[in-house]
Structure 1
Amino acid sequence: MEADSDVPPLVVDIDGTLTDRHRAIDPRVFPVLREWPDRVVIATGKAMPFPIALCEFLGIERAVVAENGGVVFVEATDTLRLEGDKEAAIRVADEYREAGHDLGFGRIDLANRWRETEVVVNIDQPLAPLERIATERGLRVLDTGFAYHVVDPSVDKGRGLETICSELDRTPAEFIAVGDSENDAELFDVAGESVAVANADEMALSRADRVTDASYADGFLEAVAPYRG
């Protein structure tokens, strides 16, 4: 579809932004994403198969920032980039277990099964020892409200969007970004317009250009309403 010059490209988070509080995607967002007249980028803390599947089933071009910027895929240029120290994250997880804790996702652990650059821990597990071990390894812990992500400090969603833009001859300043968590803060810093949904955490709220009155997917729909006619 030819881009409408009055509608910017869109970069959007999934959990807490396109979903309800239980992480179920609100079907009302589907036509918005499918019919958006410019490029759509999905930027998430989830492993790459999840945003790729979302794009696939929506029938939109696959341009994704996954694992909080550690994984970037651009279908248009057949580009896949992996950044960050996965081995260091695994060592953090091993030490966390040795200290008597658990990642909290059960024996199969679908949350970590397909991750390429980071490790996640269930939000029900103790945070303080995880942060201590990660800091000792030169990593940081992101609290997305749904999980604790052990990540390399050299990666974030903002840099992921910059990577996508370098592949597509665009600039981050062209984009409107919508999100809800501290892992969206750097994305908000580089986007031309940033919107936090009302359920966003304090960091995301403080870095956003505007905040919606509504929460979760209702907030997303409110955020993009000015561009939908």
Structure 2
Amino acid sequence: MKYKLIAIDMDGTLLNSQNQVSERNMKALEEAKNKGVQVVISTGRILQSALHYSEILDLKNPIVACNGAVIIDEFSKILYEKPLYKESVLNIINLAEEKNIYYHFYDSDTFYAKTFNKEVMKYYEANKSNLSKQQINFKMLDNPTETIKNSDLKVYKFVFIDDNKDKLVEFRDSLNKIKGINVSSSWSNNIEVMGENVSKGEGLNQLCQILNIKPEEVIAIGDNENDISMFNFAGLAVAMKNGDEIIRDHTNFTTDTNDNDGVAKVIEKFILK
């Protein structure tokens, strides 16, 4: 099979534990691109962050960001977007505040929150210069509900964080009763919410229709629950060795870890061989 597109998750996949792309991974991406393969970052991250890494890697290819809520082409033109409905956003905020669980949400380049918890603030302080380079903003909102009601803000994704797993499970059960949303996760202590039918898999579907690429011509590489939809779409679904056990039943090949050039080893085996 000649693969024409490779969709690659970022955290825990393309990026190593230091949030960097290894030399071997960079070399493999470049060689795949030179063979005419579309190298597509497919991430839950905010669009501006994905764009930053794409520019560093000089990919000049489309990007699937916010778990598929927005897709841009190589010129940063929006090809597809599906933000959350305003009513859904308001219902989500009300539920989060009722359950006293931390949340933030984002559009293409700004994180919005009522408060930032210790984990987020620690991340922000440690990565302030990097976030500035990525042109990502953090904005505090006194009253998120009123902001949403009185603006045309496009909310692509919510993130909820809590180390109490029982609380997260209960909260996820409550979220599932809200209409017009899709719920996922990318880490053991978080929940992600996008618009209805929004996922990395649907994002890839939309992109492949635009590019006239068949599912069987796609490789998808990832490490967590929010990658399952693109595993189910792609002809070759690849799990990272460091990935969550939840993905194993949805993949047909396992590569090395993100700290041992797992992405490069997939590209070398299935594209550059």
Does the CA-based 8 Å contact 2:47-2:65 persist in structure 1?
yes
Structure 1: which 4+ aligned runs deviate by more than 6 Å?
Answer: 108-115
- The answer to whether residue 265 in structure 2 is matched with residue 228 in structure 1 is no
Count residues in correspondence.
Answer: 223
With normalisation by structure 2, the TM-score equals: 0.71
Q: Which residue of 134, 149, 164 maps to 2:175? A: 134
- Partners in 2 of 1:217 and 1:100 — Cα distance? 36
Show the 5 A alignment for 1:177-188: 177-188=220-231
With normalisation by structure 1, the TM-score equals: 0.83
Structure 1 gaps of 5+ residues are: none
Q: Deviations over 1:37-73 (max 9, x none)?
A: 2111111111111111111121111311111111111
Could you say which structure has the larger radius of gyration?
Answer: 2
Does the CA-based 8 Å contact 2:238-2:252 persist in structure 1?
yes
The amino acid of 2:195's aligned partner reads D
Name the structure 1 match of 2:197: 154
Shift of residue 84, structure 1, vs aligned partner: 4.4
Name the structure 2 match of 1:95: 95
- The answer to whether residue 13 in structure 2 is matched with residue 17 in structure 1 is yes
Show the 5 A alignment for 1:48-197: 48-75=47-74, 78-87=77-86, 88-103=88-103, 104=117, 105-106=120-121, 116-124=155-163, 126-138=167-179, 139-145=181-187, 147-197=190-240
SS of residue paired to 2:176? helix
Shift of residue 8, structure 1, vs aligned partner: 3.6
Structure 2 gaps of 5+ residues are: 104-116, 125-135, 140-152
Shift of residue 115, structure 1, vs aligned partner: 7.3
The amino acid of 1:142's aligned partner reads S
The amino acid of 2:257's aligned partner reads S
RMSD over aligned Cα, in angstroms?
A: 3.0
- Partners in 2 of 1:31 and 1:120 — Cα distance? 33
- The answer to whether residue 31 in structure 2 is matched with residue 35 in structure 1 is yes
SS of residue paired to 2:80? strand
Bigger relative CO (Cα 8 Å, ≥ 6 apart): 2
Structure 2 vs 1, CA of residues 111 and 223 (structure 1 numbering), >3 Å: closer, same or farther?
farther
Does the CA-based 8 Å contact 2:43-2:65 persist in structure 1?
yes
Q: Deviations over 1:164-194 (max 9, x none)?
A: 1122222222111111111111111121111
Does the CA-based 8 Å contact 1:96-1:133 persist in structure 2?
no
Structure 2 vs 1, CA of residues 177 and 101 (structure 1 numbering), >3 Å: closer, same or farther?
closer
Structure 2 vs 1, CA of residues 157 and 120 (structure 1 numbering), >3 Å: closer, same or farther?
same
Structure 2 vs 1, CA of residues 148 and 175 (structure 1 numbering), >3 Å: closer, same or farther?
same
Shift of residue 134, structure 1, vs aligned partner: 1.3
Q: Deviations over 1:186-212 (max 9, x none)?
A: 111121111111122233211111112
